[in-house]
Structure 1
């Protein structure tokens, strides 16, 4: 994903983060592959890699010119509150749903202006173009999972996210932004109880998949969303909502009940 310019940001740090994320995703990339993945010039990638090696965060593989993260990268997440209980609780439920209908399910939580996949059943079905591993990010408002989350988020959280979108001007078209700013999009999602996006343009295979998503709660607390992804050519959105939305809602409700029980 290209490094985007933002007001008051430090470009060198943004590029360094992009390089580290690329290496962490690929785990064994060449210099050229790193530069391409991070969308930065080759000489810049070279300098950043040398710095990361000096700091002990990455290393060169002994037998070839490929780079991988070291155990030291784990120190960057020491203060992060993981969602282990959420993943452990949800896993059997989303697996059963995929085993029943074959389509992959993604469990995602919000981080900044993105929804981050915490777990996915894409590896247990052939009805997927890609395996969406934990850590995969999709944009908030353009995605079904993000829209389902946003619509049920507290008002102050919604206001802050919209402010960030207005400030950055990145990642969303003006019509969609106005629809959420006016409250029309939120009202519609809440009335329907789900969000849907046809022919996802942000996916690894733009236009080939569609998604429906529902919010996920622990009691009254919003914790994330569940999205079901299907081939756009396989069925219409109307058919998908009619056939797949009820079991997706039931799965979210079952996960919520189990989260409350395990918290007791």
Structure 2
């Protein structure tokens, strides 16, 4: 047997075990959701595993705040960490629901595709998309991650970050076209411009022939929580037409911000 084949055989059980552990951890959460409280012995019986295995899984979930011990009873219940995760999902859904009618209006007014995006790790995650009447079979970006440095949405989402947060995101800046910004210094200068003018542009930076503009959406605390963008082919979104689109875009993003509590008196 070759060394490669032996290595592959060694890797298979480890990978399978990892997936199995995730599956068991999720089942523990389901067990606690049904029962309210359960001890390690009960969890082990439900999973059909040794008690020590169940304890390790429960202890790991406890470290992440997903389960917690019921004081003095030796049992576990779902932890407040789940509320944090659920709250993040709920907040995103709230933004999408508030944004949808405004995005529809903006798509109708501009004729182009309107996207709603948020920062997710080291990329921009598209939460929603509305196609305007001029958009012919647009690519569906919902649920997809796109690079920050090569897109108008990404630039907006980076522009108002604290410096230490920005440093963590500014790793390698791959080139997608000849106009993609690949220098950290140049990108920082671009983000300064975004902050000054209140919107970002990206023309032929992610894809040749694609133009986009984005503006920030703020929550009640003034934090930029997502961005709204208008995108379309460069032959339609010329410099002249972009100047007519930008006021509509900024107006829509400001209105969404106000609906989320920003500037409320």
Q: TM-score, normalised by structure 1?
A: 0.61
Match of 1:88 in 2: 97
Match of 2:249 in 1: 248
- Cα distance between partner residues in 2 of 1:250 and 1:123: 17
For residues 143-162 of structure 1, the aligned pairs below 5 Å read 143-162=151-170
Give the 3 Å change call, closer, same or farther, for CA 156–141 of structure 1 in structure 2.
same
- Cα distance between partner residues in 1 of 2:110 and 2:95: 22
Give the 3 Å change call, closer, same or farther, for CA 223–120 of structure 1 in structure 2.
same
The C-alpha deviation readout for 1:94-146, integer Å capped at 9, x for no partner, is 0111122221111100011100001111387634531222x111101111101
Structure with max Cα Rg? 2
Q: How many residues align?
A: 192
- Cα distance between partner residues in 1 of 2:213 and 2:102: 17
Match of 1:140 in 2: 148
Give the 3 Å change call, closer, same or farther, for CA 136–119 of structure 1 in structure 2.
same
Where structure 2 has 5 or more consecutive residues not aligned to the other structure, the ranges are 1-7, 31-81
Q: CA deviation at 1:156?
A: 2.7
Q: CA deviation at 1:51?
A: 5.2
Give the 3 Å change call, closer, same or farther, for CA 123–240 of structure 1 in structure 2.
closer
The answer (yes or no) to whether the contact 2:116–2:127 under 8 Å persists in 1 is yes
- Cα distance between partner residues in 2 of 1:121 and 1:56: 40
- Cα distance between partner residues in 1 of 2:208 and 2:169: 26
Question: RMSD of the TM alignment (CA)?
Answer: 3.6
Aligned: 1:217 with 2:224:
no
For residues 55-94 of structure 1, the aligned pairs below 5 Å read 79=85, 81-82=88-89, 83-94=92-103
Match of 2:63 in 1: none
Give the 3 Å change call, closer, same or farther, for CA 115–126 of structure 1 in structure 2.
same
Give the 3 Å change call, closer, same or farther, for CA 132–55 of structure 1 in structure 2.
same
Aligned: 1:192 with 2:200:
no
- Cα distance between partner residues in 1 of 2:101 and 2:224: 20
- Cα distance between partner residues in 1 of 2:158 and 2:200: 10
- Cα distance between partner residues in 1 of 2:132 and 2:190: 32
The answer (yes or no) to whether the contact 1:98–1:125 under 8 Å persists in 2 is no
The C-alpha deviation readout for 1:28-87, integer Å capped at 9, x for no partner, is xxxxxxxxxxxxxxx9xxx79x959x85999xxxxxxxxxxxx99xx9xx6362111111
Aligned: 1:229 with 2:231:
yes
Match of 1:171 in 2: 174
Q: TM-score, normalised by structure 2?
A: 0.61
Match of 2:135 in 1: 126
Match of 1:18 in 2: none
Where structure 1 has 5 or more consecutive residues not aligned to the other structure, the ranges are 1-42, 59-70
The answer (yes or no) to whether the contact 1:127–1:230 under 8 Å persists in 2 is no
